[in-house]
Amino acid sequence: MSRFQKLKNLRKQRLHREGTEILIISAVLLLGLNGLVYWGCGFSILFYIVAIISIILYLLMVNFFRCPIRHFEQDSEMIVVAPADGKIVVVQEVDELEYFHDRRLMISIFMSVTNVHANWFPVEGVVKMVRHHNGNFYKAWLPKASTENERSTVVIETPEGDEVLVRQIAGAVARRIVTYAKEGEDCVIDEHMGFIKFGSRVDVYLPLGTEVLCEIGQRTTGNQTVIAKLPEL
């Protein structure tokens, strides 16, 4: 499927599909709670307090599952784009032992509960591997979270032949990882790779010699911020 066809099929949604069930159930429960308070107390101070708290809680949930429509407008050749909203917390060479078994440049993005939690493909190409690992739920910013927490690994081969590994990592609060990538399928930068509920981290492993275009502490916008440029083979 061509890039144009893939982009035409992208859903233009304002709320992510992963939040549909939670938002519906939450709305029913909150309406029920407010109904009970009204039935017992009428339009009392307690009713208004409960109503205000309910509205605030629901708006926070809606904010969490928001899914802005974004399109990468630049040339995507050899470019690595941030797969998530958040903050760069690691830029360093590490040993990657799951797939490459050699030294790689790792760039990590930490997502707080206020960030958009959709994850995008950081490069274009073909999905070579998708693997999910059960594990612990340590705080996502700890180094051991990369190898010991519950996580999903996606490997993409670019048209130029570079291989890029993306790892979705669950944290102490985020306990559900959803990965849409399928082995053998083409992927484009504007396409969602997955979703992590309630804050976590995404690691990107790149070939040595990659030009780093970001720095620790920098805020990223998923599918918009260019974080690196791959080396020519």
Whether 160 is covered by a domain: the verdict is yes
Res 206 pLDDT > 80: yes
- The residue with tokens 């999910």 is 132
**In this structure, what CATH number is given to the domain that contains residue 89?**
2.70.70.10
Last residue of a domain, one of 27, 45, 64: 64
CB count in 10 Å sphere of residue 35 = 10
Q: What pLDDT is recorded for position 198?
A: 64
- Who wins on pLDDT, 225 or 176? 225
> Tell me, what's the pLDDT at 143?
64
Which pLDDT value is given to residue 18?
A: 66
| Residue 2 within a domain | no
Percent helix, strand, coil in the chain, to 5, is 25, 35, 40
Q: Which amino acid is at 109?
A: I
Query: Alpha-carbon distance 20 to 39, whole Å?
Result: 28
Looking at every residue in the chain, the average pLDDT score rounds to 84
Same domain flag for 21 and 84: no
Helices (H), ranges, the chain: 3-9, 20-41, 45-64, 145-148
Does one domain contain both 98 and 213?
A: yes
The residue that leads in pLDDT, 22 or 167, is 167
Range of the domain at 54: 17-64
Tell me if 77 is assigned to some domain: yes
pLDDT of 114-150, one tens digit each?
A: 788 889 999 999 999 999 888 666 666 566 666 767 8
The contacts of residue 174 (CB under 8 Å, 6+ apart) are 140, 196, 197, 198, 199, 200
Does residue 21 have a pLDDT over 80?
no
C-alpha 123/C-alpha 165 separation (Å) is 10
Is the domain of 127 the same as that of 204?
Answer: yes
Please list the active-site residues. 200
Per the model's pLDDT, the better-predicted residue between 17 and 226 turns out to be 226
- 45 with 151, same domain: the answer is no
Q: Report the alpha-carbon distance of residue 191 to residue 158 in Å, rounded.
A: 15
Residues 190 and 92 in one domain: yes
| Confidence check: pLDDT of 5 > 60 | no
Is there a domain that residue 11 lies in? no
Whether residues 84 and 196 fall in one domain: yes
Taking only Cα atoms into account, the Rg of the chain, rounded to an integer number of angstroms, comes to: 20
Task: Give residue 122's pLDDT.
Answer: 96
The pLDDT value recorded for residue 125 is: 94
Do 117 and 212 lie in a common domain? yes
- Does the structure show a pLDDT above 50 at 104? yes
Could you tell me which residues come within 8 angstroms of residue 198 by beta carbon, excluding any fewer than 6 positions away?
A: 64, 113, 117, 173, 174, 175, 176
For residue range 31-85, list pLDDT tens digits in order.
888 888 878 888 888 888 888 998 988 887 777 777 777 888 888 889 999 999 9
Residue of 230, 211, 205, 212 whose CA lies nearest to 97: 205
> Above 70 in pLDDT, residue 230?
yes
* Rounded distance between C-alpha atoms, residue 56 and residue 109, angstroms: 28
Whole-structure pTM value: 0.79
The fraction of the chain above a pLDDT of 90, given in percent, is: 44
**Residue 177 located in a structural domain:** yes
Same domain, 96 and 47: no
Q: Return the pLDDT at 84.
A: 92
Give 192's strand partners. 120
In a domain, 109, yes or no: yes
Q: How many domains does the chain have?
A: 2
Q: Are residues 102 and 170 in the same domain?
A: yes
The pLDDT score that the predictor gives to residue 137 is 64
Residue 9 domain flag? no
Q: DSSP assignment of 148-172, as one string?
A: HB-EEEEEEE-TTS-EEEEEEE--S
Phi-psi region of 4 (alpha: psi -120 to 50; beta: other; left: phi over 0): alpha
The answer to whether residues 207 and 113 belong to one domain is yes
